[in-house]
A and B are shown apart, each in its own frame.
Chain A
């Protein structure tokens, strides 16, 4: 007998300069942490085996609730039993199994109908499970329309083979594969952010930063404590924009979970982005250190790529103008694109000038080409563009990879930081 009436029935501090870690040969080479991987070895094909991630377990969990709702309670119990057995540390699976067992002998009064006398002991655990469940359901029910991408991804060259977007409001991470036809969503997982939420600004504030970052490194399980699960992917917080704004703190990683837990509450970490171990493993196999962007947004606006085409084209014009000026050696014209020494970030105008002068004369009039241009548009209190490209001098074997940070100053886009990467 099942009584289901009324049931509705779930980074510590580390300098990102030091990147020494023991890793196996199956993982990407990682010397200075910022080198993009040119030749993928031991990679999965692009028709990715998503079943290796947590999505299967999550889908099975939601299926169990669908079975309950459809009246197939015996099937639900059987499936919950096997899910709980296969993922003993998946707390939501244990909870639904507990509920289904309890429903065999009494009416349930709430989702997660634990004995009343346990309440003082469990503290917020049940609330957290409820929140996790809510977030999972929310995200699964609200998947982005096929072919849509985050509005921040204006242009991503094919050389950048993957991109990551995190939507804090959905507690979700979206992994894209960059194909000739455009960005394709290849996986999405439930993730946790900082205990105090998002918008990190200071060291120890237990918040996850917002903005556009890049994976600087990868650390596999062998070199880490159990706490981090199957591995970690540090990102470059604070980025240049963060530094300009005086933000402090660091050691923000994407990492897994300790063995006792499959997943954590939506707000659980000290600022890191935490995910189930199979998901972290999956990421490790599908990203490139240095070039994979990580967008962390309070709530992603999903757009069809055509919607941002004109924005992208407009900026291309500006970038082209900068490039033309540089190629033609017109120092004054090039200089007009640079901002002076913003909050100690970047250089003084004099220093930019010196740098550009050196580059121009070093090129000795040879043709300059811009290749593999990436445009990532981050807007908060300021309008910024993270631009990455390869500067190719004709006749050279390998171009120089550069990253620029532009900010809209009135009506004009200007560079406040530029560096070779």
Chain B
């Protein structure tokens, strides 16, 4: 008797679940059907109705966004997709569609940032994309070297690509390799617009000195300059050395390598707000070690150096999980025992 009841309960529950699922499938199908036949307002209405009872349904929200976009309600569609990127940050599709809308509004920089997030949302694609970026960089260097007729070493180029250890993403977190990698910085593009290049407008008056002075120094993916027979950073160029010191410091911070991070600071480092060195170290340890991932990006790096003293100013984007903060930073360096070490660190907004 009891067994029969259990079976009956099970069957009923199953039926219930199945019918619910069928109901779910029915509504989704109906909405899609309506949209396909061009009855977009009806489709939208039905979608909203459904979402009233189940507002977090990914599929339905997504379909709603697509319909809004088809109708031409761009602002609403953007909101829908934006909401989805918050609720489901690991789905690439909402990012993509948000980017499409931005692009249709000629907001190309926003579109680019969002598409980058789309790629980052899937860790395997993120790695592939990062590797692709590395390859493009190598190819560009090769082409430039040929253009300038620079001697190319016969040994093969060694790009720094990341291997995927497992075909199945174990967690939603990006794998360690990615979090520790310094992401590619976006130099300041304010004020620049897409310009067409009609040949008659071309001006040859710009000298290379002009270019160096007016453009911000871009952080590029680190390449082994030795591959091209070029002098490596350690020889002769103090600006380059300080630049490398800044990048190394940010790298250690991102990698949460406390030993490496503190090694970037001189013994004579004066912590901010008059803190004691030990207190400052303790605070930094807590702040860094506690995080599961940190990404630090450097942009608009400007370096001034005179003999054994240098100042680096840059834009810093700090991200950990969903927490992001941007600031204008200043690092003062002293050259001690052939190494550039930080003696002062400030926010210079």
Point out the residues of chain A lying under 8 angstroms from B137, CB to CB: 101-102, 105
Q: A interface vs B, CB < 8 Å?
A: 1, 3-9, 62, 65-66, 68-71, 84, 88, 91-92, 94-95, 97-99, 101-102, 104-107, 109-110, 112, 114-122, 125-127, 129-131, 133-134, 137, 140-141, 260-261
Q: With A101-B140, A121-B230 known to touch, is A94 a contact of B211 (CB < 8 Å)?
A: no
Closest chain A residue to B116 by CB distance? A1
- CB neighbours (8 Å) of B192 from chain A are 5-6, 107
Are A65 and B199 interface neighbours, CB within 8 A?
Answer: yes
Q: B187 to A69, Cβ gap below 8 A?
A: no
Instruction: Give the contacting residue for A98; candidates B140, B194, B231; CB below 8 A.
Output: B140
Q: Which of B140, B189, B216 is in CB contact (< 8 Å) with A102?
A: B140
Q: A70-B196, A131-B204, A141-B199 are in contact. Are A125 and B148 (CB under 8 A)?
A: yes
> Counting CB contacts under 8 A, is B33 at the interface?
no
| A121: chain B residues within 8 A (beta carbon) | 150, 230-231
User: Do A116 and B212 contact each other (CB < 8 Å), given the known contacts A69-B196, A127-B207?
Assistant: yes
Residues of chain B from 214 to 236 with CB closer than 8 A to chain A in the complex: 215-218, 220-221, 223, 225, 230-231, 233
User: Is the pair B204, A109 in contact by a Cβ cutoff of 8 Å?
Assistant: no
Contact of B144 among A94, A127, A130, A140 (CB under 8 A): A94
Q: Which residues of A contact B202 (CB under 8 A)?
A: 8, 133-134, 137
20 more CB-based (< 8 A) A-B contacts, given A91-B147, A110-B215: A4-B194, A6-B195, A7-B195, A8-B197, A65-B199, A68-B197, A71-B194, A98-B147, A102-B144, A104-B136, A105-B133, A107-B189, A115-B144, A116-B217, A119-B212, A121-B230, A127-B208, A129-B147, A130-B206, A141-B200
Closest chain-B Cβ to A70's Cβ sits at a distance in Å of 7
Q: Which residues of B contact A106 (CB under 8 A)?
A: 184, 186-187, 218, 220
> B139 and A101: CB pair below 8 A?
yes
Report the minimum CB–CB distance from B137 to chain A (whole Å): 6
Residue among B116, B197, B207, B237 with the highest chain A CB neighbour number at 10 A: B197
Quick one: CB contact mask for B165-203 with A, threshold 8 Å, 1 for yes? 000000000000000000010110100111111111010
| Given A7-B195, A110-B211, A140-B199, also A122-B150 (CB < 8 A) | yes
CA distance A94 to B146 in the complex (A): 6
Contact B230 A1 (CB under 8 A): no
Interface residues of A, dominant DSSP:
helix
Residue of B with least CB distance to A2: B112
Tell whether A101 pairs with B199 under 8 Å between CB atoms, given A6-B189, A109-B211, A125-B149. no
Chain A residue nearest to B231 (CB atoms) is A121
Task: Decide if B143 touches A98 in the complex (CB within 8 Å).
Answer: yes
- Tell me the smallest distance from the CB of A91 to a CB of chain B, in Å: 5
Do A5 and B189 form a contact, CB below 8 Å, given A70-B196, A137-B199?
yes
A sample of 6 inter-chain contacts (CB < 8 A) reads A7-B195, A84-B143, A95-B144, A109-B216, A115-B220, A141-B200
CA distance A118 to B151 in the complex (A): 12
Chain B nearest Cβ from A127, distance in angstroms: 6
Closest 4 CB pairs of A and B: A98-B143, A6-B192, A101-B140, A134-B204
- Report whether A9 and B231 are in contact in the complex, using a CB–CB cutoff of 8 Å: no
* Shortest distance between the CB of B241 and any CB in chain A (Å): 11
B187 to A109, Cβ gap below 8 A? Answer: yes
User: How far is A65 from B150 in the complex, measured between Cα atoms in Å?
Assistant: 24
Residue ID in chain A nearest B205 by CB atoms: A134
How far is it, in angstroms, between the C-alpha of A91 and the C-alpha of B140 when the chains are bound? 13
Neighbouring A residues of B109 by C-beta, 8 Å: 5
- The answer to whether A118 touches B144, judged by C-beta atoms less than 8 angstroms apart, is yes
User: Across the interface, do B148 and A126 meet the contact criterion of CB distance under 8 Å?
Assistant: yes
A242 to B147, CA, bound (A): 39
In the bound complex, residues from chain A placing their C-beta under 8 Å from that of B140 are 98-99, 101-102, 105
- B147 contacts across to A, CB distance below 8 A: 91-92, 94-95, 98, 112, 114, 129
**Cα-based distance from A65 to B133 in the complex (angstroms):** 23
Q: How far is the CA of A126 from the CA of B209 in the complex (A)?
A: 11
Query: Which residues does chain A contribute within 8 Å of B133, judged by CB atoms?
Result: 104-105
Closest-by-CB residue of A relative to B146 is: A94
- Give the complex CA separation of A115 and B223 in angstroms: 10
